[in-house]
């Protein structure tokens, strides 16, 4: 369980997050949606303990989120996770040496699944291969919380599909709390249980994905558009 | 590639529809074991909780049976396939008639048009 209690983050005068309160329940898959600059990445970094709130409290499990939280939380950052001079297997060994929950067995399975060549250098990988390697590194860990910040950014539809399949195959459902920020809603929708819409640093809406289809006959993308349209009119 | 889903219906019930159609077409036999929740989730590219719901719904309808510790199986009840085929027929006819009426056809005209089509086949319209 992750609890955000009245969190605000200020960068100078600008508020990246403004009095956000929300509880992510254990074992569910959440999507955080919203335009650029809505505070998606800030919220993720905060839960990962990499950024501290100006006001409010972030708790992961029973602990306050700080740098040490990483021992029980895997974070796929949108930038700067890979070392260009490393080979893929060196990247894997490095993660293995840093995290005691890193499973070499899972990493081997994922190497095959993601069709990666262990001898290739990170600097020589395509964007799609880098995206797959990043996912391999976080999915090989056995943590209670998995945070994926823009896992699809800059990737073509085929790679996005592989990544969705990888998530379905390797997430520990019911045990791992998974939070994904993305713009590629259509691809990820069948994997999500709950969706949250962030705008201008605040939570604008929160819904259960299947309920929206059942009650309103809308996909999340359509729901998102209708939510924003209604607000614009009023 | 994962299958695409329509927005008008919950994903769990679209997967249930698919399984029923496969059963009616004979691609799934009575008593056949279905993939585990996990396998089915991976095949369809959806959250396993969704498949759990699909199987629950199919069980409620009597289309599948869950045997403890063994998995989920298509029903062996003889009448089920016939019943499901009738249900699907009804649904398809209802949708067809609604469409025809919405473009202003009388029931008599729908009748004639269907008869003509069945006699001449699709080629008759070219």
Contact flag A213-B9 (C-beta cutoff 8 Å): yes
Distance from CA of B50 to the nearest CA of A (A): 8
Q: Residues of A near B (CB-CB distance < 8 A)?
A: 29, 161, 164-165, 168-169, 173-174, 190-193, 210, 213-214, 217-219, 222
Mean pLDDT on A19-47: 92
Give yes or no: residues B37 and B48 share one domain.
Answer: yes
More confident residue, A90 or A63: A90
Give yes or no: residues B56 and B92 share one domain.
Answer: no
3-state SS track over A45-80:
HHHCCCCCCCEEEEEECCEECCHHHHHHEEEECCCC
Number of domains in chain A: 1
Tell me which residue range forms the domain holding A143. Answer: 2-233
User: Which residues are registered as beta bridge partners of A75?
Assistant: A147
- Report the chain B residue with the minimal C-alpha distance to residue A168: B42
Q: Is B96 part of any domain?
A: yes
Distance from CA of A80 to the nearest CA of B (A): 28
Rounded Cα distance between A222 and A226, Å, is 6
Give the nearest partner residue to A165 out of B9, B42, B49, using CB atoms: B42
How many residues appear in chain B? Answer: 126
Give yes or no: residues B28 and B52 share one domain.
Answer: yes
Is residue A30 helix, strand or coil?
strand
Q: Is B44 part of any domain?
A: yes
Distance from CA of B48 to the nearest CA of A (A): 7
Mean pLDDT on A119-138: 94
Give yes or no: residues B16 and B72 share one domain.
Answer: yes
Tokens in use for B101?
Answer: 């009426």
Give yes or no: residues B83 and B70 share one domain.
Answer: no
Which pLDDT band holds residue A69 (cuts at 50, 70, 90)? confident
Give the nearest partner residue to A217 out of B8, B45, B47, using CB atoms: B8
Give yes or no: residues B85 and B71 share one domain.
Answer: no
Give the nearest partner residue to A213 out of B1, B11, B46, using CB atoms: B11
Q: What is the pLDDT of residue A233?
A: 46
Give yes or no: residues B24 and B57 share one domain.
Answer: yes
Q: What is the pLDDT of residue B89?
A: 92
Number of domains in chain B: 2
Which pLDDT band holds residue A232 (cuts at 50, 70, 90)? low
**pLDDT tens-digit readout, A92-123:** 999 999 999 999 999 999 999 999 999 999 99
Q: Between the CA of residue A186 and those of A132, B34, B59, what are the distances in Å? A: 19, 27, 29
How many residues appear in chain A? Answer: 234
Which pLDDT band holds residue A22 (cuts at 50, 70, 90)? very high
Taking CB atoms and an 8 Å cutoff, what residues of chain B touch A174? 49
Q: Is B6 part of any domain?
A: no
CB A146 within 8 A of CB A181: no
Q: Is B2 part of any domain?
A: no
Q: Which of B76, B93, B111 is the last residue of a domain?
A: B76
CATH classification of the domain holding B22: 1.10.10.10
Q: What own/partner pairs with CB < 8 Å and gap ≥ 24 does A221-230 have?
A: A221/A185, A221/A186, A221/A189, A222/B7, A224/A33, A224/A185, A224/A197, A227/A197
Taking CB atoms and an 8 Å cutoff, what residues of chain A touch B41? 168
- Report the chain A residue with the minimal C-alpha distance to residue B12: A210
Q: Is B92 part of any domain?
A: yes
Q: What is the pLDDT of residue B51?
A: 94
Taking CB atoms and an 8 Å cutoff, what residues of chain B touch A218? 7
Location of structure tokens 């089915």: B40
Give the nearest partner residue to B45 out of A174, A190, A193, using CB atoms: A190
Contact flag A161-B1 (C-beta cutoff 8 Å): yes
Tell me which residue range forms the domain holding B46. Answer: 11-76
CATH classification of the domain holding A198: 3.40.50.300
């Amino acid at each position: 369980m992750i609890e955000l209690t009245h969190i605000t983050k200020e960068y100078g005068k600008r508020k990246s997050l403004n009095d956000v309160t929300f509880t992510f329940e254990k074992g569910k898959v959440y999507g955080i949606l919203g335009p650029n600059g809505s505070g998606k990445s800030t919220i993720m970094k905060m839960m990962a303990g990499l950024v501290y709130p100006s006001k409010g409290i972030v708790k992961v499990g029973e602990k306050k989120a700080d740098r040490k939280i990483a021992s029980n939380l895997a974070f796929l950052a949108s930038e700067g996770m890979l070392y260009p001079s490393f080979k893929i297997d060196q990247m894997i060994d490095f993660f293995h040496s840093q995290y005691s929950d890193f499973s070499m067995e899972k990493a081997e399975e994922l190497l095959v699944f993601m069709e990666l060549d262990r001898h290739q250098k990170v600097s020589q990988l395509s964007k799609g291969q880098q995206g797959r390697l990043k996912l391999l590194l976080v999915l090989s860990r056995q943590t209670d919380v998995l945070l994926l910040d823009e896992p699809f950014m800059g990737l073509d539809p085929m790679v996005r599909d592989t990544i969705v399949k990888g998530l379905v195959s390797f997430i520990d459902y019911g045990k791992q709390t998974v939070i994904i920020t993305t713009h590629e809603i259509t691809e990820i929708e069948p994997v999500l249980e709950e969706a949250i819409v962030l705008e201008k640093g605040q939570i604008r809406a929160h819904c259960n994905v299947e309920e929206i289809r059942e009650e309103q006959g809308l996909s999340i993308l359509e729901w998102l558009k209708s939510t924003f349209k209604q607000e614009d009119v009023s | 590639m994962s299958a695409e889903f329509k927005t008008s219906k919950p994903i769990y019930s679209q997967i249930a529809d698919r399984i029923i159609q496969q059963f009616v077409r004979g691609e799934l036999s009575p008593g056949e074991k279905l993939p585990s929740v996990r396998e089915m989730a991976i095949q369809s590219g959806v959250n396993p909780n969704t498949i759990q719901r699909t199987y629950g719904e199919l069980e409620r309808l009597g289309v599948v049976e869950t045997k403890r510790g063994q998995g989920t199986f298509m029903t062996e009840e003889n009448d089920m396939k016939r019943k499901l085929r009738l249900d699907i027929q009804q649904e398809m006819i209802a949708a067809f008639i609604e469409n025809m009426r919405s473009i202003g056809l009388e029931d008599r005209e729908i009748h004639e048009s269907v008869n003509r089509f069945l006699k001449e086949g699709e080629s008759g319209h070219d």
